[in-house]
Every structure is written in structure tokens, then in C-alpha cells.
A and B are shown apart, each in its own frame.
Chain A
Amino acid sequence: MSDQTHHAGAGVQGNSAARVTNVDPYDVPTTLATGKVIFGWALVGIPLLYGVITTLSKVGQLFG
């Protein structure tokens, strides 16, 4: 879940030798935001799981 980075337009940033180089301001590691990811997927995943299990319980009668 961290296979990404931003490569937006060239930013300008000086180093200690005052040499001006092009540095991508988005070129930073991905913030995992684990709590937000878990909450988001739980919000949609739990109801979906409930729907699938409820439906499967009816499907059992097909071959029961």
C-alpha cells in the first residue's frame, strides 16, 4: 500500500552548497495513514460482507 509517490512539477530547493537543483516536492514517502485506511475499508467491507453472507445463506437452499 505504499507503492507510490508524487512526481509533480519541478520544485526549487537549495542545498547546503547553495547549488540550485530541481527537486520534486511530491517525492516523499507515502503516509500510510493505517487508521484511516482500516476505517475506510471497514466502513464499506463489513456491510458488504454482511450482504454476501446473508445472500449465501439463501444460496445454500439451491443445492441443499
Chain B
Amino acid sequence: MNWLDRSASIAPPGFNRWLIPPAALAVHLCIGQAYATSVYKSALIGHFEVSQTAIGVIFSIAIVMLGLSAAIMGTWVERSGPRKSMFVAASFWGVGFLVGAAGIFTSQLWLVYLGYGVIGGIGLGIGYISPVSTLMKWFPDRPGMATGMAIMGFGGGALIASPMSTALLKFFDGFNPAINGADWIASGSSVGKLFLTLGILYFAVMMYGVANIRVPAASWKPRGWNPSTTKVDAMVTTAHVSAANAIKTRSFWLIWAALFLNVTAGIGILEQASPMIQDFFRGADGNSAVNAAVAAGFVGMLSIGNMAGRFIWSSTSDIIGRKRIYMVYLGVGALFYTVLAFFGGSSMLLFVAMAVVIISFYGGSFSTAPAYLRDLFGTYQVGAIHGRLLTAWSAAGIAGPLIVNGLLDMQGKPGTMMASNYLPVLLTMVVLLIIGFIATTLIKPVASKYHEPEAALTSATQEA
């Protein structure tokens, strides 16, 4: 299909670059549904009559596949261009839901693992990295803002998917508030219908992105922006490094470590958000001042912080620099975690404010990462390098919950803990963030021996 080729998606003269962010967002808002799986978790547990872990594995498989597919397919995505890779992502994401629906209707859990977990997870990985390097090429003057816009969508996807899925489940189940109480749990068949609906809907919306994404001509640049007059920054290279060479550099692994440690610490709060706020405000009589509905409000607040941080902090990095913003994420993050650990239980406002800022740093570290990679390794294969970096996310997705759950299990049973029981967890996160802060300070410009020769770059440009 020639229409999907990179060469067919080169923007014509006069193309408005502000058409690109909605195309990128169309993909990221859809795949961001991955953060909203808790909506139907209880329904699937009841339908398949299995443990929480067995259903939680679906999400875990999807996140592991996200990291693996982004790392393995990154070079292909870079070579094929955003249109073809976004089409492949839309197909995998849509088909993943349809196969998952088949698994629910036939009560075969392995089909849900295969569909949503494996097939959908591949769609997640390819979709996540597909539009990012293209956006940075369209906004070379504001790469942080550009990646922030797209990756904000991944955070925002759950904000849309969560209420939309609840509304659809109620519709499919014929929910009646007079009959169904507050403890209503959706039926398995309605979750199956939800998967069918989401598969078709997400494929259609992502196809809008496929149809409207464009790559700029090789030497295009915004009017009035002259790279040669831009303030010289040793941390921003004009050279280019291949993905194969990038992973041989110390700087790549230092960014990997910083992202891994920041995400691990962020997951510490995200994973435990609802019980955590209830435990922090539990009285001596064992009753919490925070009920489940208020805790849900806190989780919603964190989602908004996660999404907003992706745009705000990444845009800020265009002004203060990528290294400094990462030092803020990790340094100020460690400070706020310490405040949360020792004083979080004294005030609801303080607790929520600290947690929301920490989660905004969590989101910001994701969206700033591709711009940081561009600064250090150039635009040549930045999408492929970004794909390899995302293995840090997969690793943190395993390490974060393991650390948090392991330490909390030693403190007591769920529903009986208090603020003091969270000290070991939160102080562990502080140590992780300090290590990440040190790693960030050690990031240096990439040595010239890793730079691509000019001839190879010219040849690659002509082939594209």
C-alpha cells in the first residue's frame, strides 16, 4: 500500500504543522486506555472466576509487550515512517480488543491474554513511539512541548476511557439505579461488548491520525527559526547517533536509569493511591476519615496531575534544559517524598498537593525523555532510541509494585495500616530518587566517535 509509505506522507508546501499534534493525539488518547483497565477488573474476576492476580496479568503482559515491541520495532518504525507504523499500531490495538472480546464471550482467559495482552500490547508499543519523532521534526524550535502534547494524550486516554467504559457497561447491562445498587458489578457479556465497541471505535479514531500524519520535507524548518543562531548548548548536539551506537553510550544508560528510578517511585504512589490516602487518615479507632468515594477523587486528581505534568514540564524543559528538568523531577521529587513520609498525615491538602506534584514529575519524565534523546543523539534514529529507552518503563512496571507490595506486606494487613506504616516504602522511594538524581548529574554529551558519518546521513535522507 503506497499510501502508507513514508514517501507518500511528505507534507506539501505550505502545510500547517498544527494539524500534526491532533493526529498524534488521536493515537495516544486511544492507547492511553491501558491505564483504565481497573474499570472492568472486578467484572472479569467474576466472569472468569479467577483471582485478582490472574486478571492483573492481562495489564502486565500488555505493558511488557509495550516495552519489548517499542524496543524491537523502533528501527522499523523509524524507517517506515509514522503513517505505516500508526496504521500497524491501530490494527494491532483494534484486533487486540476483538480477540479479547472473543476470549470473554467464550470464557477462555488465555484468549484475553493473547488479544489484549500480546496483540494489543504490540499496538501499544508501536503506537506510543510512532508519532513522537515526527512531532519533534515539525517542532524543532519546541521539541519538549511537541512531545509533551502527544504523550500527554497517553495520560489523558484513561480520563476518557474510564467514564466512557463505565457508561457503556451500564448501557449494555441495562443498569437501573433503582434495582442495581452501589455495589453493581458489570456482567462478563457486557465487558465483551465493551471490548468490541472499543476495538472498532479506537481503530476508527486512530485511522484519523493515520490519514492526517505528515512528515516534513528533509530540510524544512519553521519560518524565522535559524538553528545556527540558536543559543549553543553543549548538551544539544547537531550530530546524529544511530540506535545501535546510542545503546553503547554511558549517557543512554544514565537516562535509562533516571527514567527507571523516577517511574519506579511514581508507580509507588499510583499503585497504592486509593488505600494509601485512606491509611494516612486512619484514626486510632481504626476508622479512616477518607471513604472509597473520596479516595476515587484522589485517584482522579492523580490522573489529571499525570496528564498535565506531561505537557507542562516537558514544555518547561524547552526553556530550562532537559538535564535541569530531570534534576527537578528527581531532586524535588525526593524532597516531596520526604515531606509526604513525615508530614503527609497532618493535612489532607498537603498530602494531595505533594502526591499530585510527584505524579506530575512521573508523567513529565516520560514526555521529556524523547526530547532529551534528541538533544543527545540527534533526530536520525531518535524514534528507535526512544523505543529502546521504554524498556525502562517495563522494568519499572515490574520493580515498582514488587517493592511497594513487598514492603507493605511486612507492615500489616490492608485496611489496618496507618501513615507510619508507609515510612519504609516512601523512604525507599527517596533513596531511589537520589540515586536517579546522581545518575542525571553524570549525563554528558555523546563522544564524537559515536556520531554517524555525514555520507551515511545523506544516503539515509535520500532513501527516505
Shortest beta-carbon distance from A40 to chain B in Å: 3
> 1/0 per residue A1-40: CB within 8 Å of B?
1111111110000000000000001111111110011001
Is the Cβ of B223 less than 8 Å from the Cβ of A44? no
Is the Cβ of B304 less than 8 Å from the Cβ of A55? yes
Asked if B41 is an interface residue, CB under 8 A from chain A, the answer is no
With A43-B22, A55-B300 already in contact, the answer to whether A7 and B352 are too (CB < 8 A) is: no
Cβ-neighbour of A7 out of B22, B205, B221, B348 (below 8 A) = B221
Residues of B within 8 A of A32 (CB): 16
Asked if B57 is an interface residue, CB under 8 A from chain A, the answer is no
Chain B CB within 10 A, most for which of A4, A40, A47: A4
Residues of A within 8 A of B17 (CB): 4
Is the Cβ of A51 less than 8 Å from the Cβ of B160? yes
Query: For residue A46, which residue of chain B has the nearest CB?
Result: B160
Q: What is the size, in residues, of chain B's interface with A at 8 Å between Cβ atoms?
A: 47
Is the Cβ of B16 less than 8 Å from the Cβ of A2? yes
Asked if B288 is an interface residue, CB under 8 A from chain A, the answer is no
Residues of A within 8 A of B352 (CB): 62
Within B263-301, which residues are at the interface with A (CB < 8 Å)?
Answer: 293-294, 296-298, 300-301
Query: For residue B163, which residue of chain A has the nearest CB?
Result: A54
Shortest beta-carbon distance from B145 to chain A in Å: 13
Cβ-neighbour of A31 out of B15, B153, B163 (below 8 A) = B15
Is the Cβ of B217 less than 8 Å from the Cβ of A55? no
Cβ-neighbour of A28 out of B13, B22, B293, B348 (below 8 A) = B13
Shortest beta-carbon distance from A15 to chain B in Å: 19
Is the Cβ of A7 less than 8 Å from the Cβ of B13? no
Q: State in angstroms the CA–CA spacing of A8 and B164 once bound together.
A: 44
Report, as a range, how many residues of chain A touch the other chain.
35 or more
Q: For chain B, what secondary structure do more than half of its interface residues adopt (helix, strand, loop), or is it mixed?
A: helix
Is the Cβ of A40 less than 8 Å from the Cβ of B19? yes
Is the Cβ of B16 less than 8 Å from the Cβ of A51? no
Interchain pairs with CB closer than 8 A, number: 127
Query: For residue B221, which residue of chain A has the nearest CB?
Result: A7
Residues of A within 8 A of B301 (CB): 55, 59, 62
Is the Cβ of A3 less than 8 Å from the Cβ of B222? yes
Stretch at the interface among B23-31, B68-76, B380-388: B23-31
With A8-B218, A43-B208 already in contact, the answer to whether A56 and B304 are too (CB < 8 A) is: yes
Q: State in angstroms the CA–CA spacing of A33 and B297 once bound together.
A: 40
Is the Cβ of A62 less than 8 Å from the Cβ of B162? no
Is the Cβ of A33 less than 8 Å from the Cβ of B25? no
Asked if B181 is an interface residue, CB under 8 A from chain A, the answer is no
Q: State in angstroms the CA–CA spacing of A52 and B219 once bound together.
A: 39
Is the Cβ of A44 less than 8 Å from the Cβ of B153? yes
Is the Cβ of A30 less than 8 Å from the Cβ of B16? yes
Residues of B within 8 A of A54 (CB): 159, 162-163
Within A49-63, which residues are at the interface with B (CB < 8 Å)?
Answer: 50-52, 54-56, 58-63
Is the Cβ of A6 less than 8 Å from the Cβ of B29? no
Cβ-neighbour of A36 out of B19, B216, B294, B348 (below 8 A) = B19
Shortest beta-carbon distance from B33 to chain A in Å: 11
With A8-B217, A28-B14 already in contact, the answer to whether A3 and B224 are too (CB < 8 A) is: yes
With A8-B218, A56-B300 already in contact, the answer to whether A51 and B348 are too (CB < 8 A) is: no
Query: For residue A51, which residue of chain B has the nearest CB?
Result: B159
List the interface of chain A (C-beta within 8 A of B). Answer: 1-9, 25-33, 36-37, 40-41, 43-44, 47-48, 50-52, 54-56, 58-63
